[in-house]
Amino acid sequence: MRLILFGPPGVGKGTQAKLLSASLGLPHVSTGDMLRDAVAARTELGLKAKATMDAGGLVSDDIMIGIIADVLASQKCEKGFILDGFPRTLPQAEAMTGALRSLHVSLDAVINMEIDEQLVIDRLSQRLTCRNCGRIYNLKVPGPCPNCGGELYQRPDDTPETVRKRLRVYSASTAPVKDYYRKTGLLRDIDASGTIEQVYAAIRQVLNID
C-alpha cells in the first residue's frame, strides 16, 4: 500500500503514520523527521534547513524533491510506504507523480485529515516529543517518556507564534495540494478531531482495513 497522510501541522499525521506503519508493516516516511535527524547530525542538509524549519517556513522544493525521489526509489519502499509531511506544495506533488510513474507504481490513497484550527494551536502548544523513541505526547507537565523513560522536549517550531506561521504557510502553499489529489479521485476525507483511537478507526474504515 502506498499512502499519503495529508493535513495541517498538529493534525496527528505522525501519530497515525506510526500506528499504520506498525500494523501494515510498511515504512513510515516522515520528511520532518528526516530533516530533524539531519539538523541533529549537523549535515550540510541540516545546516541549510534549520533556520527555515525553526521559523516555520518550508524547505525548498528542489531539496525536498531530491530527498523524496531517493527514498521512494530505495529498497525500503519497495512494498509500499506511509508518507507523512510530503508533498507540501504543488510542485512537490507533481514531482512525486512523475517519480512514482518512472518507478511504475501508483498511490492507493491520500488521507485528508481535517481539523479545527484552534484545536491545532491548543494541541501543538502542549505537544512533547521523546528524544529517544520519538513518541508524541500531549502533556501539560513535562517528565520522562512514559514509554522508554527518555527526555521529552518541545520542538522549537511548536511555540504559539511559529505554529500560527506554519498554519498560514499550510493555507497558502499546502492546502491547494488537496485539490490536486481530489481531481485524481485518491483523496479520502476524515474527521481528525477525535481521539487517537477514533481517528485510527476512521482511517482504517476508508482504507477498508479490518
Active site residues: 13, 88, 127, 155, 166
Q: Measured from the CB of residue 107, what is the shortest distance to ligand AMP in angstroms?
A: 16
Give the separation between CA 146 and CA 190, rounded to whole angstroms.
29
Nearest by Cα to 20 from 94, 93, 65, 81: 81
Radius of gyration of the chain (CA): 16
Closest approach, Cβ 77 to ligand AMP, in A, equals: 16
Rounded CA-CA distance 32/34 in Å is 5
The count of residues in the chain is: 210
With CB atoms as reference, the residue minimizing the distance to ligand AMP is 32
Binding residues for ligand AMP (CB under 6 A) = 9, 31-32, 35, 52-53, 56-59, 64, 85-86, 88, 92, 157, 166
> Of 81 and 86, which has the nearer Cβ to ligand AMP?
86
Rounded to the nearest whole angstrom, what is the least distance from the CB of residue 190 to ligand AMP in the complex? 18
Cβ count within 10 A of residue 53 = 21
Nearer to ligand AMP, 85 or 210 (CB): 85
